[in-house]
Amino acid sequence: MNSYNRTICSGVESRLTLIRVSCLAVFIFAVALTTGAVAPASAAPAPADMEMALGRDDAPVTIIEYASMSCPHCAKFHEQTLPMLQEKYIDTGKVRLVFREFPLERTAYWASIMARCAGEKRYFAFVDVFFKKQQSWYSAEDPFQALLKIARLGGLSASAVKACSEDQALGDGILQTRLEGEQQHDVTSTPSFVIDGKTYRGALTLEEIEKIIIPLLP
């Protein structure tokens, strides 16, 4: 294959990849809409000091997760372990999962900004999409624009994202959450989990989590 044909094929593959990414993002957001997980596009941004959590407030066990949107091990946990944890323990009222942003670099910081910009009801839908499509946006030539494209598919306008990105209180609050994780729980990497006052590092499996939480359950 000559260089001209390789260039054409490369361009076609890039467009097909973009189509697949867009279709998957639309599908995920559509599922969230039909299940009531996504609020109207006009929802107010979630302030940085708002605790983002899954599960009942009075669950007997609380798991605090510190994660970076650009962390592959965090994406693995959210894709492979969290669904089982949610079905078996969170949805049954036994565990509450608190998600705290711990951006390791600028792209993860922007992803955190956009997820909170989506509002409280849409927050976890955006987190889910960003983790599922992490490789595509993180490896893009312009990661911010790739994230923005996904955010717009979820109903966020470019002007809303601009306003959130310029919201100093929101940005500073996310960085403060990271600082508190370092100072209070000795979090130095992601994902890290705080359970019963102890910090556990790495993408824990369901079996590893069960060994920790089962003795804590009534």
Q: Where are the domains of the chain?
A: 3-216
CATH superfamily for 3-216 is Glutaredoxin (3.40.30.10)
Query: In this predicted structure, what is the pLDDT of residue 42?
Result: 55
What pLDDT is stored for residue 197 in this prediction?
96
Hey, which residues does 64 pair with through a beta bridge? 98, 194
Question: So what's the pLDDT on residue 14?
Answer: 43
The residue-averaged pLDDT of 128-141 equals 97
Question: Cα 116 from chain centroid?
Answer: 10
Query: Whole-prediction pTM value?
Result: 0.83
pLDDT digits over 84-126, tens only?
999 999 999 999 999 999 999 999 999 999 999 999 999 999 9
* Residue 109 CB partners (closer than 8 Å, separation 6+): 103, 171, 174, 175
| DSSP per-residue string spanning 54-99 | ES-TT-SEEEEEEE-TT-HHHHHIIIIIHHHHIIIIITTTSEEEEE
pLDDT of residue 195: 98
